[in-house]
Structure 1
Amino acid sequence: MSNAKELRDLDDSELVDHIKTVRRDLFGLRFQHATGELENTAGLKIGKRDLARALTIAHQRGIDTNK
């Protein structure tokens, strides 16, 4: 899910779950990249943008995402 409109349609708990999932996925991609297993490095850029969009919406709503 990378569309800002789709992220805005999520309720607060779903948005926090999405952020946790994207962070976990991004960690895995960074780990694969560091070990040389990642072939498609564009996934890192896409994941970072998706996380940034979700965090921006969460901060606009005043949601604490550091739990």
Structure 2
Amino acid sequence: MKINKYVEDLKAKSAAELNEELVAAKKELFNLRFQNATNQLDNTSRIKEVRKNIARIQTVIAQKNA
């Protein structure tokens, strides 16, 4: 149910807020990839989680633009 709550929170945000969140998520993914490459990342499943969150944000943005 946490995912549904996250998506509902995304749907309540404006387009500008969604874009800010998208940029932040992409930066986090970038940093996680670097940590993984240098063997500093302990929780590798976080990469998958962030990628899915980016997709969720992009989906909500597309729905708002449609």
Q: Which runs of 5+ in 1 are unaligned?
A: none
1:29 aligns with 2:39: no
Q: What RMSD, in angstroms, separates the aligned Cα atoms of the two structures?
A: 1.5
Segments of 4+ in structure 1 off by > 6 A? none
**Whole-Å separation in 2 of the counterparts to 1:30 and 1:54:** 20
1:7 aligns with 2:13: no
- The amino acid of 1:45's aligned partner reads K
Q: Displacement, 1:10?
A: 0.5
1:34-49 aligned within 5 A? 34-49=37-52
Q: Displacement, 1:43?
A: 0.7
**What is the TM-score when the length of structure 1 is the normalising length?**
0.85
- Which structure carries more helix by proportion? 2
2:19 corresponds, among 13, 16, 21, to 16
Q: Which runs of 5+ in 2 are unaligned?
A: none
**What is the TM-score when the length of structure 2 is the normalising length?**
0.86
1:55 aligns with 2:46: no
**Whole-Å separation in 2 of the counterparts to 1:8 and 1:34:** 34
**Whole-Å separation in 1 of the counterparts to 2:63 and 2:38:** 36
